């Protein structure tokens, strides 16, 4: 009997030994690592090329998804009131379209006035700056340079037709992209809950599904909270710019206020371009250097106070992103998709950092949104 017991135990040990998986560690050489990184690099290059080539379609769809996530909190509130998803999507999309149309209509008159006064402004700029430019000998610029030749006012006016035809050729693609944007926004808001459910069900285990729910909710909350708060803050910056341009003697103060509001959503690049534009406009308006630069200095001061005192006081440390990461994102997306890419750089960075923080909670830190 003991002998049979020992035999069965030995047989069982033999079966377990045969079932044991022996893992062999293979030491990778430098060539293997180079191959892996080469594949990753080729994939990234192809992905960037695909994003750039398909920008006519990807750009409005991405913008629609971002705007839909921002409006998601409002859609949830309408859903709590018993409004069906498609009805709330139609209401929010229509309101957003009305805001865009009314804003564009309000800018038509100032833009038309600016186009009419452009030649006179160019003449004043030539009369004011040519004496200073003539002192720089290596530029070889004289008053005759702007009176005749390819950079003269007459030549610019003669080329206006070709400029307008170039602009007109881009109108049709812009209209098509606008239609794609509003259609994508309507459908995304209407099917937002179904998309969320499909993303969650796509994960097999419960832990990953809970992580997907937390990540989606965190993205929607972060985008909605930031842009709702930032819109109110930057509306104050726009109103301040209207007052600054009116006191500073600049023409079309409403237009300056609108540009100040929009540029504030593009960190670093927006305030830089706006300050330079105000400096040029002020120098063209006033003979005095101090009066000419006063509007630019005033706007830069207001923007600096808002970004360094008001915004942190309102938002605290709830929303923060590394400043260098945002700067690189702005340069990259501006290169890829132009002005729309610059506007999308911040929300895309915010989405990326939110996903990173939710998936790696142990290393979670609160990045700061720069202005």
**pLDDT mean over 87-106:** 87
**Are residues 321 and 256 in contact, defined by beta-carbon separation less than 8 angstroms?**
no
**Nearest residue to 357 via CA among 255, 222, 263:** 222
168-177 pLDDT, tens digit per residue, is: 556 667 788 8
Structural tokens at position 44: 């990234």
**Are residues 344 and 337 in contact, defined by beta-carbon separation less than 8 angstroms?**
yes
- Rounded CA-CA distance 170/164 in Å is 10
125-162 pLDDT, tens digit per residue, is: 666 666 666 666 666 666 665 565 555 555 555 555 55
| Residue-level pLDDT at 283 | 80
Helix 253-263 vs helix 269-285: crossing angle, to nearest 10: 160
What pTM value is reported for the model? 0.74
- Rounded CA-CA distance 371/362 in Å is 28
Distances (CA, A) of 197 to 77, 202, 221, 234: 18, 8, 17, 35
17-65 pLDDT, tens digit per residue, is: 555 555 556 666 667 778 888 888 899 999 989 988 988 889 999 999 9
């Amino acid at each position: 009997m003991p002998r049979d017991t020992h035999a069965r135990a030995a047989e069982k040990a033999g079966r377990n030994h045969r079932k044991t998986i022996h893992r062999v560690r293979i030491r990778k050489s430098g060539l293997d690592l180079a191959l892996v990184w080469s594949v990753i690099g080729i994939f990234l290059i192809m992905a960037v090329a695909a994003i750039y080539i398909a920008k006519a379609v990807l750009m409005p769809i991405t913008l629609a998804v971002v705007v839909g996530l921002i409006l998601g909190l409002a859609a949830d509130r309408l859903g709590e009131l018993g409004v069906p998803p498609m009805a709330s999507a139609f209401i929010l999309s229509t309101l957003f379209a009305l805001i865009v149309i009314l804003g564009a209509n309000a800018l038509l008159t100032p833009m038309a006035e600016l186009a009419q006064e452009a030649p006179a402004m160019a003449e004043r700029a030539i009369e004011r700056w040519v004496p200073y430019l003539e002192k720089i000998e290596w530029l070889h610029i004289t008053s005759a340079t702007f009176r005749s030749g390819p950079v003269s006012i007459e030549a610019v006016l003669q080329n206006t037709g070709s400029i307008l035809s170039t602009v007109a050729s881009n109108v049709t693609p812009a209209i098509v992209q606008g239609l794609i944007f509003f259609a994508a926004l309507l459908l995304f808001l209407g099917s937002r809950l179904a998309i969320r459910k499909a993303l969650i069900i796509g994960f097999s285990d419960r832990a990953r599904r809970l992580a997907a729910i937390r990540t989606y909710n965190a993205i929607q909350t972060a985008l909605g909270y930031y842009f709702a708060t930032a819109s109110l803050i930057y509306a104050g910056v726009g109103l301040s710019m209207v007052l600054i341009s009116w006191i500073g003697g600049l023409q079309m103060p409403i237009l300056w206020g609108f540009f100040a509001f929009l540029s504030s959503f593009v960190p670093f690049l927006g305030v830089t371009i706006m300050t330079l534009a105000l400096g040029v406009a002020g120098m063209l308006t006033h003979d005095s250097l101090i009066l000419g630069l006063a509007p630019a200095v005033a706007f830069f001061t207001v923007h600096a106070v808002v970004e360094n005192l008001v915004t942190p006081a309102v938002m605290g440390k709830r929303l923060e992103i590394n400043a260098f990461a945002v700067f690189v994102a702005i340069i990259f997306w501006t290169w890829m998709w132009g002005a729309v890419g610059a506007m999308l750089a911040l929300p895309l960075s915010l989405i990326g950092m939110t996903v990173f923080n939710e998936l790696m909670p142990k290393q979670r830190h609160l990045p700061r949104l720069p202005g």
